[in-house]
Structure 1
Amino acid sequence: MGLAWCVDAAEVRFAVGSGSGPVADAVVSLHGAVPASTRAATARMDQQHSAFVPAVLPVQAGTVVAFPNRDNIQHHVYSFSQPRQFEIPLYSGNKAAPIRFDRPGVVVVGCNIHDWMIGHIVVLDTPYFGKTTDDGHLTLDVPPGRYTLRVWHVRGSGAPLERTLVVPAAGTSATLQVALAPAQEDVRGNDRLRALQQKFRQLKGTPP
């Protein structure tokens, strides 16, 4: 089921793929003509095995996100992204105060201690969204109507997929093809994260 439910909702079934097969962790959202109001919601992005879990977290604007540290080592979580810049100094367990995300956009999250750790929080101005499963599928329940459909993926290349989708009362399905950049090898550290970490150290006035 989708993340939003309403009376007289229509079921929309999505199948997202690329040239190489189904696409997992694609964030699909439906945006109506009237901007949705923010809501008080909660979510979490754990740190487990020195990784952010989930690596991609879609939320509606106004959501408060907790960052529990389930590892037996400390992490230092931060983001320089314009929608929500923040810093959670070295901590473990559930000691960190949750962070509210009010502005739509993509927030890249890193750890100043472990530069290979990276997560993405996708903040959306709609309650109608979800993330595809390993087989590229997603189902949302939305009121019938005319929407702007958007698809975001961390490996998206070129212009993000956006199109109009009309949802009838009987529901509908949509097969979507997205362009993805080649997957990078999962290694401990990469140039993008090193650049983020270097920027963090410069702002703190610490040596590289």
Structure 2
Amino acid sequence: MKSVFFALGGIAATLIGPAAHAAALTVDVRNSGGAPVPFAVVTWTPATGTTIPATEKNKAFVMAQKNIQFAPFVLAVPVGATVAFPNEDRVNHHVYSFSPAQPFQFPLYGKGKSRTMSFPHPGTVALGCNIHDSMSAYIRVVNTPFYATTDASGRVSLTVPDGAGTLAVWQPTLDAPEHQVSRPLTITGASMAQSFSLKVRELAPAAGQY
């Protein structure tokens, strides 16, 4: 298992409401060797609670089938979002999930066809293909509008309200209960830094999974 370092920094304040300010958080995720770590979903949940705007739920979320792989490997969506599953391959796929958060099946469909599924419950939805055993991916359904997934550079940026809340990091190979760690945190200033020392398996996704 490799150690992973998470750092948050670069915070700038802007007005978000009459009594709250926004902080711009940059999250850099790297392993102990300094290499970036992709596919980590970072979320911020204010202690005062939050609602997910309809504009966030109605964004175009896509989990494609391309080059006999899912793309992206990890897709983060808010509770209530609908995800499209277009087939961009020349072969048929049968997409399924047995995950409690949202079990479903899309029987065989071919190139140029698409299916959609809504995700009303938070949690992790592991995906597979009944035709191609090597295909796997994850949809992480989050109950906050403040979320992002690290890309190949191992970085994300979040704009969050200041105050107390919970910072959480989920990654499909993280060695922790439900593959997630979290901690309480209070955002109070124009700049902050947070670090997590975590163990994850190294991933080598196929081309097109980002």
**Which TM-score applies when normalising by structure 1?**
0.79
Residue 24 of structure 1 corresponds to: 38
Structure 1: where are the runs of 5+ without partners? 187-208
Contact conserved, 2:44 with 2:147, CA < 8 A, in 1? Answer: yes
Identity of aligned residues (%): 35
Distance 1:147 1:44, change over 3 A: same
Distance 1:75 1:127, change over 3 A: same
The aligned runs of 1:4-15 (5 Å cut-off) are 7=16, 8-15=21-28
Shift of 1:93: 3.7
Once superposed, what is the RMSD of the aligned Cα atoms? 2.2
Q: In 2, Cα distance between the equivalents of 1:93 and 1:145? A: 48
SS at match of 2:51: coil
Picking from 107, 115, 123, the partner of 1:97 is 115
In the alignment, structure 1 residue 71 sits paired with structure 2 residue 89: yes
Q: In 2, Cα distance between the equivalents of 1:58 and 1:14? A: 16
Shift of 1:146: 1.1
Picking from 71, 79, 101, the partner of 1:61 is 79
Residue 63 of structure 2 corresponds to: 45
Residue 190 of structure 1 corresponds to: none
Letter in 2 for 1:101: F
Letter in 2 for 1:165: L
Residue 181 of structure 1 corresponds to: 201
Distance 1:182 1:55, change over 3 A: closer
Contact conserved, 1:78 with 1:109, CA < 8 A, in 2? Answer: yes
The aligned runs of 1:153-172 (5 Å cut-off) are 153-159=171-177, 160-172=180-192
In the alignment, structure 1 residue 83 sits paired with structure 2 residue 83: no
Contact conserved, 1:29 with 1:151, CA < 8 A, in 2? Answer: yes
* Matched residue count: 182
Flag the structure with higher strand content.
2
Contact conserved, 1:44 with 1:66, CA < 8 A, in 2? Answer: yes
Contact conserved, 1:67 with 1:98, CA < 8 A, in 2? Answer: yes
**Which TM-score applies when normalising by structure 2?**
0.78
SS at match of 2:194: strand
